[in-house]
């Protein structure tokens, strides 16, 4: 039997429940149970992605609905990696809630899911490029949550640990973004003849990248309360740029119909 979007709820709902259990046990500091439930949820969710991949006969990376699928997958993945490395108790609750949001969008607003892949996208670079980007989005999402937490709970701004957490998330997120962007450049060279064409999407990726670099370099300085607040806003602004890059440019008048990433005579 072929897996299709019709079967999505049967995979997504149990996965979310498993992730929620994992998040619950991470608060209770039960390490084995946390890891087991979260990983089970991830495996189940990935099974759906693989099934869809097989029945579509192409990686499900094309429509917005499909990228949301990867986003909901990588949130818990990023969550469990962060958790296993630094043992933040809240991170799994956060990743579960965000994943749930994206799953709900896919459940309640399914799009017409296209099954074809235009020639320019048929490249070995395609899957790694998009997957790495999705992973970086998930990490920056977590960084935003930490930044907002620091913004609204000023008493925590002296807590060295939280700042380290924020730094780590941005560092790892940025290294993934760099990889995604450079894969994109190498691919663009093969597909369109140039590695960087300042196309609106590329321009906004560049802005986002530079913007997170501002944060990273700023954080090299000694830390005090005033600086910390500036740093928080740097993360928030960078995250807004990231949203522009991801979907905002679709609504930006100056970017309409300009993308080189289309394929036709006109």
Partner 1 sequence: MWSKPWKFAEGITIGAGLILVGLMLQFTIGPIDWRLLAYPFNTILLAIYVLVLGILYAVRKHVYVIEWTMTIYAAVPALGYGVLVTLLMGLSGWDQMLRSWPFTLVYIWLMNILGLITIRRILHFTQGGIVRNLCFICNHLGLFMAMVCGTLGYADMQKYRLTAKVDQPEWRAIDLVGTLMPPKVVELPLAIELHDFTIDEYPPKYVVIDNETGMIVADSPWRIRQDSIWEYAAIVYGCKDSLGNQDMDRYVEWPSMGACTAGFITATRYASAKEAAEGQGSVLETKQGWVSCGSFMFPYKALLLDSLYSAVMPDREPKRYASDVTVYAANNQKMDGTIEVNKPLEIDGWKIYQVSYDSALGRWSDTSVFELVRDPWLPWVYAGIYMMLAGAVLTFITAGRHRH
Residues that bind ligand HEM (CB under 6 A): 213, 216-217, 220
How far does CA 86 lie from the centroid of its chain?
A: 19
How many angstroms separate the CA atoms of 205 and 12, rounded? 31
Q: Is 226 in the site for partner 1 (CB under 8 A)?
A: no
Footprint (CB under 8 A) of partner 1, residues 12-71: none
Distances (CA, A) of 172 to 8, 88, 135, 136, 139: 30, 16, 10, 8, 7
Contacts of 118 (CB under 8 A, 6+ apart): 263
Q: How many CB atoms lie within 10 A of CB 33?
A: 15
**x-or-dash string of contact with partner 1, 195-214, rule CB under 8 A:** xx-x-x--xx-xx--xx-xx
Show the binding pattern over residues 136-175: x = contacts partner 1 (CB under 8 A), - = does not. Answer: ----------------------------x--xx--xx-xx
From the list partner 1, ligand HEM, none, pick the one residue 252 interacts with, judged by a Cβ distance below 5 to 8 Å according to partner type: partner 1
Residue count, binding to partner 1 (CB under 8 A): 57
Given partner 1, ligand HEM, none, residue 109, with its beta carbon under 5 to 8 Å by kind, binds none
CA 145/CA 213 separation, integer angstroms: 19
Closest separation in Å from C-beta 31 to partner 1: 19
Q: What is the DSSP string of 22-33?
A: HHHHHHTT-HHH
**The token pair that represents 48 in the structure block:** 């759906």
- Between 225 and 265, whose beta carbon lies closer to partner 1? 265
Rounded to whole angstroms, the Cα distance separating 251 from 40 reads: 38
| Alpha-carbon Rg for the chain in angstroms | 19
Residues that bind partner 1 (CB under 8 A): 85-86, 112, 115-120, 122-123, 164, 167-168, 171-172, 174-176, 178-179, 182, 185-186, 189-196, 198, 200, 203-204, 206-207, 210-211, 213-214, 217-218, 220-221, 241, 244, 252-255, 258, 263-266
């Amino acid at each position: 039997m072929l897996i299709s979007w019709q079967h999505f709820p049967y995979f997504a709902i149990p996965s979310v429940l498993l992730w929620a259990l994992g998040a619950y046990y991470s608060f209770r500091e039960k390490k084995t149970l946390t890891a087991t439930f979260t990983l089970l949820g991830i495996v189940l969710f990935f099974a759906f992605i693989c099934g869809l991949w097989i029945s579509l006969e192409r990686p499900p990376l094309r429509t917005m609905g499909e990228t949301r699928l990867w986003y909901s997958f990588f949130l818990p993945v990023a969550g469990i990696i962060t958790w296993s490395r630094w043992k933040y108790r809240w991170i799994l609750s956060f990743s579960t809630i965000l994943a749930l949001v994206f799953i709900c969008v896919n459940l309640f607003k399914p799009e017409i899911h296209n099954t074809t892949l235009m020639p320019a996208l048929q490249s070995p670079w395609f899957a790694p490029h998009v997957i790495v980007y999705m992973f970086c989005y998930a990490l920056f999402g977590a960084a935003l949550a930490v930044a907002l937490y620091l913004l609204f709970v000023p008493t925590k701004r002296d807590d060295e640990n939280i700042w380290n957490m924020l730094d780590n998330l941005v560092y790892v997120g940025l290294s993934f973004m760099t990889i995604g962007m450079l894969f994109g450049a190498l691919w663009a060279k093969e597909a369109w003849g140039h590695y960087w064409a300042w196309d609106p999407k590329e321009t906004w990726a560049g802005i986002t990248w530079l913007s997170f670099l501002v944060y990273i370099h700023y954080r090299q300085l000694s830390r005090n309360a005033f600086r910390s607040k500036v740093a928080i806003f740097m993360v928030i602004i960078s995250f807004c740029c990231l949203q522009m890059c991801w979907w905002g440019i679709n609504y930006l008048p100056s970017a309409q119909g300009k993308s080189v990433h289309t394929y036709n005579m006109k």
